[in-house]
Structure 1
Amino acid sequence: MKRRSQLYVPGINERMIVKSLDIPADSIIFDLEDSVPPDDKERARELIRRSLSAYSWKGKELCVRVNQLTTKDGLRDLLFVSDLPVDVILIPKAEGSLDFVHKVTGKMLEPIVETPRGLAEIEDLVRSDGVVAISYGAADLALHSQGEIKGYEGNIYVMTRVATSARAYDVEPVDKVYFDLRNAEGFRAEAQLAKSLGFSGKQVIHPSQVEIANSVFSPSKEELEWYREVVDSYEKAMREGKGAIRLRDQLVDQVHYKIAKRYLQDYSEIK
């Protein structure tokens, strides 16, 4: 499952839910948390339930972001989502082991690191049963760290910690949302930075960001041609007893070969 783009859709907004049917995001996240006022939580649950019965998202990964698990609404959300035909539950302000969530719901999980404790205990999160992806939130992390949002946007330490912790346990790291909807190039630059650190994709909050995320987190035809050349040339060299080769004036060894093989396996349908 590719998670190049994960689009948040307010669970209380029927128009946006319907619009998401035609948006080419890899994952659709029906939100019950920040985008839904406290008095509208139950109405949002019912709208999501009706929508899932009425519409088909044609192979997209369907997700629900629940409320914080330490709240009554969060517990109600878990019971609600358990019976829905969705794939993944997003856990905001996730901390510690989430084994119990997977056990109760049977769903795959994507924790969101949004507190200092969550970041400190990130290994517990990615090792939890059912966790397939992980993301983080700059605004909440800044709030709970008594810092500023700008200090956590593009923060190399946080991004590297999330990406490497996730990859250590075969979990997909997905980069955070980007707030400035007018700055497409800023979004692209942040996505490119995330890709360079090992992130699989990016969470998005507007349809205009989806195509950019899909493009950044997919190799170009030229890149795929290069990876095929690396694989073919290196396998030929291995048969000749060589451990490293020079290809287009670049050193290619086993690490480069493994990276190329991974990309070709992940994106073999791109010609």
Structure 2
Amino acid sequence: MTSALPLLRTLLFVPGDRPDRIAKAVASAADGVAIDLEDAVAVSQKAVARDAVVSALPTLPAEGGPVICVRINAMDSGFADDDVAALEPALHRIDLVIVPMSAEPDGIRRAAELLARAEQAAGADIGRIGIIPLIETAAGIFEARAIAAADARVHTLAFGPADLSRELGITPTADGEEFLFARSQLVLAAAAAHCPPPVDGPYLDLSDADGLVRSARRARMLGFSGKQVIHPSQVSGVAGAFAATPAEIEWARAVDVAFTAAEADGVSSIRLPDGTFVDYPIARRARAILAGVR
């Protein structure tokens, strides 16, 4: 698990066959950029996209930029092997590989084997690149815990609502009640595997800024670390929705100060003036909020 990476509050997707957009995405304020070799690239353009990605990656900033991800094609698509092999010259610039349509742990183990083979061929560090399984089917939802624990490379999980809504015959909404069970499964599975919180799926209506923010706030409430975005215009709205509010920061500081003083006196459970009970789990949550704003 590549836990040293920052939380992906905003993961901006960009087509792999559009190198001009790759550079713009990396220059945006997104925490991560997902260069797409799958759905955003026509079948006839797969080879072109691979070449474009390998050419673009070495030109990206070496330090201070976003987390760089590449979404390969599904393991059973017939394209995944060639995707990973083609990336060999640029593996040193890739942090995470996103594996779409992940529905069982064997597919993740197969992806890990492909990466190990490519790393060995490229003379790269074996095991450095993490994997994000993209869960977008009913089967994947029910196998989420096994998928999250399938291999040490699994960084966290990501939710894919488009294919799941098609499979279930439902229409995604900003409030997301229709995906409550599915999303909760991913959050619990990632936590059980000691992974960072998962990344929520994209909000597909680019004209609905209010819906985007509602969707992001709902995802944060459920325990997601961030959200996939499909256009740079969505980055600021999602980032704001996942940022700690002034009230949360004030609460966290009050808890930290009071609990630190209590610890120094050998006390590990206290009651704040407003009646809030604080012990170690509550103190850790407060300190995590503060760590995220420092």
TM-score past 0.5 threshold = yes
For residue 153 of structure 1, report the CA deviation from its aligned partner. 4.2
SS of structure 1 residue aligned to 2:157 = strand
* Structure-2 separation of matches of 1:214 and 1:110: 20
Match of 1:247 in 2: 273
TM-score, L = length of structure 2: 0.84
Q: Which amino acid aligns with 2:161?
A: A
Tell me what 1:127 maps to: 149
Report 1:78-157 matches (<5 A).
78-84=84-90, 85-97=93-105, 98-105=108-115, 106=127, 107-129=129-151, 130-145=153-168, 147-150=169-172, 153-154=176-177, 155-157=179-181
AA matched with 1:193: R
- Greater alpha carbon shift after TM alignment, 53-62 vs 9-18: 53-62
Q: Note the C-alpha offset of 1:240.
A: 6.2
- Alignment deviations for residues 44-68 of structure 1 (CA, whole Å, 9 cap, x no partner): 1111111112232733110011111
1:183 corresponds to: 208
Structure 1: 5+ residue stretches without partners: none
Distance 1:65 1:149 in 2: 25
Structure 2 stretches of 5 or more lacking a match?
Answer: 1-5, 116-126
Partner of 1:163: 187
Which runs of 4 or more aligned residues in structure 1 lie more than 3 Å from their structure 2 counterparts after TM superposition?
Answer: 151-154, 247-255
Q: 2:119 maps to what in 1? A: none
Is 1:231 aligned to residue 237 of structure 2? no
Paired with 1:225 and 1:246, the residues of 2 have a C-alpha distance of: 13
CA distance in 1, matches of 2:56, 2:84: 18
Match of 2:55 among 37, 46, 50: 50
Structure 1 residues 237 and 54, CA, compared in 2 at 3 Å: closer, same or farther? closer
Which amino acid in the other structure matches residue 113 of structure 2?
K
Aligned partner of 2:36 in structure 1 is 31
The answer to whether structure 1 residue 6 and structure 2 residue 11 are counterparts is yes
Q: Number of matched residues?
A: 267
- 1:200-239 equivalence runs, <5 A: 200-238=225-263, 239=265
The aligned residue for residue 67 of structure 2 is 61
Question: Residues 68 and 249 of structure 1: is their aligned pair in 2 closer, same or farther, counting only changes over 3 Å?
Answer: same
Q: Give TM-score, length-normalised by structure 1.
A: 0.91
